[in-house]
Amino acid sequence: MKKRNNNKTFSEQLLYWYDNNRRNLPWRAMVGEKPNPYFVYLSEIMLQQTVVKTVIPYFLKFVKKWPSIKKLANADFQEISQQWSGLGYYRRAKNLHETAKQILKYHNGIIPNNKQILLSFPGIGEYTSSAIIAIAFGGRANVVDGNIERIFSRLFKIETPLKDSKHQIFDYSEKYLPLERYGDYAQALMDLGSLICIPKNPRCSKCPIIDFCEVGGDLSAKEYPKKGVKIKKPERFGLFYCLLNKNGDVLVTTNKDKGLLANMDVIPSVGWYEAENRFVEKPKFIDVKDSLFNFEWQIIDSEIVHTFTHFKLNVSIATSSIKKDLFLENSSFAKNYKFVKAKKLKDLALPSIMKKIIKQLEHDNIIKC
């Protein structure tokens, strides 16, 4: 077992490395400047379950269009959804907007420097609140994300699978907090996990804190954190309806404020979301009960598989066409559906699964974008 120095030295070595190797990220304050709490908040929401490389262009688009939390709060949510399209985990966009509105209404547009208040906002949990406190305000907070879990599981050679050792890792990391520069320290750990203590082939020879690490320089380092038994994701089967009018426009609906694709523009679908009436296999024909609007539908050949966090979705696509849009004159339909020109589909707030379906429909010359 390697002999560890005191915790102060640990943070000093890490911060020295960070001062010379920090990543230049658009939401980070330059050396000597104060952080922008709105930038920190926005980036942390976007970074939830999404990698930095993917987030950067979205972040830049958002701050150009809505440079302050006040402007974001006053924005039309449909426009926010469109800008968010493709980033995934769409509930985050709604939470982002709702929180911005609450901050404007109850806190004069100033992000609170108070963890309990931050935790009361939708979409902000333990990690995000701690990151905001430390990075935006320099407050003492233990910020532990996936990168940091990996670092401390290696530092202490934790044999327990990660899903069962998170509290242990949190306690260890709490003891290593420095006496100052909490925001820099948190970001230093994040950068270390992204640049040096990477998952598959950690670059131990370049690690500034290898003297503290139980597995540093050992081939076994890549085996940490320990993984439990990998559970195969369950499969679901969904039927998506592409209805065209005489002009080749596509029928679209906006999902309600709930579920996986909340507030996103989609084509109608059945059989994969609700617990009841869920398909047990890929549909070969369309049953009467599944025939949208009681129209005649034709299932086309497609091999689309879309992976969500907890399951895989096998996509089937059915097509049909109508000569007149009269059925939309029924108020109940008109309220929930609209026809959109195929060329305008890409301007909507489309989730990734819809983009895959549109690509398939284009490939089959069913729609022309």
Report the greatest alpha carbon distance in the chain.
Answer: 78
14's CB contacts (< 8 A; 6+ apart) are 185, 188, 189, 192, 208, 209
User: For position 309, what pLDDT does the model report?
Assistant: 84
Separation of CA 208 from chain center = 30
- Which pLDDT score is estimated for 3? 45
Predicted local distance difference test score (pLDDT) of residue 72: 98
The owner of tokens 């939708």 is 122
Rg from Cα positions in the chain: 24
User: Residue-wise over 130-164: b if at least 16 C-beta within 10 A, else e?
Assistant: bbbbbbbbbeebbbbbebbbbbbbbbbbbeeebee
Give the integer Cα–Cα distance in Å for 269 and 200: 39
Fold of 7-223: Endonuclease III; domain 1 (1.10.340)
Locate the domains of the chain by residue range.
7-223, 235-363
Torsion of CA 39, 44, 46, 47, to 10 degrees: 130
Active-site residue set: 44
Extract the tokens encoding 175: 């003891």
For the chain (369 residues), the mean pLDDT of every run of 10, in chain order, is 60 95 96 95 95 96 98 95 87 94 97 97 96 98 96 96 94 94 97 96 95 93 89 92 92 80 87 85 86 89 89 94 71 76 87 92 89
235-363 CATH, one of 3.40.50.10490, 3.40.50.170, 3.30.43.10, 3.90.79.10 = 3.90.79.10
Q: Kindly provide the residue ranges of all beta strands, DSSP E only, lying in the chain, ordered along the sequence.
A: 235-244, 250-254, 265-266, 269-270, 298-307, 312-321, 337-340
- Give me the pLDDT at residue 6, please: 59
- The predicted model scores a pTM of 0.80
- Check residue 331 and give its pLDDT: 55
Question: Residue 207 class from Cβ within 10 Å (0-12 exposed, 13-18 middle, 19+ buried)?
Answer: buried
